[in-house]
Amino acid sequence: MTRVMQMACHADRTGEFSQKRRCPPARDPYTGDMSELAKMIESASNTAVFTGAGVSTLSGIPDFRGPQGIYRHLDADRIFGLDQFRRDPGFYYEHARDFIYTLDQRSPAIVHTVCADLEAQGLISGVITQNIDMLHQRSGSRNVIELHGSPATHSCPGCGLQATFEQVAPEVRAGRLPTCGQCGGIFKPDITFFGEMLPVGALEGAFALAGSVDLMLVLGSSLVVQPAASVPLATLEAGGRLAIVNLGETPLDSRAAGRWVDLETEFLELARHFGLDSR
């Protein structure tokens, strides 16, 4: 286990380390020539991508902490609280119905499609995502590590039977609790709730991928939700570089080799540069 991974394992999802540690101050964001990002990708021998909620907002999915984020309108700590779900799974399904169980009505955005196309061209080796919207897979990305799980499957806490999103979503949208036909339990989405461990192997796989590349693209993440936010540090620790594209500041801005602000603008330019479909 690397030093970075050991530090991450002592962190919780609130973004606070259990040991005192100060990140370097962020430098002022600058608007680099977008061709420089394309050059970084072209010159790297191995590139990975780390994505956060800012990528999903391009598909009309609200983030958690932004001006129009979920925390401003809903009690996300209760909705995604494990103890709360065990006491009353109906609370989760009632409040998550309109933004989790309509994800199949959302379309991948430019960042999703460009990442998938670059992977197909061999320019990206994999995607590590904090998001639970399944849009990377729907855009065609094959190597996706979902750090916080996914509603693609739901599991019965009683007997372990699984159901797919496609099976569960119509029930939830109709106002019914998705019930296990084997034991009568209520299915729980395979999303990492507060109070749960990350999916088995996800964090280890993310650190392994991040430590194997010489360029990590950090896209739409404020890098504050731990332990996931420590993953890009593994690239730096291994001697690689970071390219960050995010609207707000991140704790790693001062250590990035390139820093841009507008995801949609930059990825439209990447699509043009690499001759990709900008759908």
Question: Which is more confident, 178 or 23?
Answer: 178
User: What average pLDDT does range 205-217 have in this prediction?
Assistant: 98
Question: What is the predicted pLDDT for the residue at 34?
Answer: 46
Question: What is the predicted pLDDT for the residue at 8?
Answer: 45
Of the residues 136, 148, 154, 273, which is catalytic?
148
Please give the full DSSP string across 140-172, using - where no structure is assigned.
T--SEEETTEEEEEEE-TTT--EEEHHHHHHHH
Within 13 Å, how many C-alpha atoms sit on residue 71's CB side? 7
Check whether 66 has a pLDDT greater than 70. no
Question: Which is more confident, 62 or 276?
Answer: 276
- Write out pLDDT tens, residues 117-169: 999 999 999 999 999 999 999 999 999 999 999 999 999 999 999 999 999 99
148 is a catalytic site residue? yes
Alpha helices in the chain (DSSP H): 3-8, 34-43, 53-57, 76-79, 82-87, 89-100, 110-120, 135-139, 165-173, 202-212, 231-237, 263-274
Question: What is the predicted pLDDT for the residue at 108?
Answer: 96
Within 13 Å, how many C-alpha atoms sit on residue 97's CB side? 15
- Write out pLDDT tens, residues 243-258: 999 999 999 999 999 9
Tokens in use for 112? 């999703």
The C-alpha angle with vertex 109 and arms to 149 and 40, in degrees rounded to 5, equals: 90
CATH 3.20.20.450 fits 26-60+107-148+198-279, yes or no: no
The Cα 180–Cα 203 span in angstroms is 29
pLDDT bin (cut points 50, 70, 90) of residue 68 is low
- Whether 237 and 4 have beta carbons less than 8 Å apart is answered as yes
User: What average pLDDT does range 215-230 have in this prediction?
Assistant: 94
pLDDT bin (cut points 50, 70, 90) of residue 69 is low
Question: What is the predicted pLDDT for the residue at 62?
Answer: 77
User: What average pLDDT does range 39-68 have in this prediction?
Assistant: 87
Question: What is the predicted pLDDT for the residue at 56?
Answer: 94
- Write out pLDDT tens, residues 70-86: 555 667 888 999 999 99
Sketch the domain layout of the chain as residue ranges: 26-60+107-148+198-279, 62-105+150-191
Average pLDDT, the chain: 86
pLDDT bin (cut points 50, 70, 90) of residue 22 is very low
Q: What is the CA radius of gyration of the chain?
A: 19
Check whether 7 has a pLDDT greater than 60. no
CATH node for 62-105+150-191: 3.30.1600.10
3-state DSSP assignment of residue 69: coil
Least confident residue range of 23-32, 108-117, 167-176: 23-32
Percent of the chain topping pLDDT 90 = 76
Question: What is the predicted pLDDT for the residue at 25?
Answer: 34
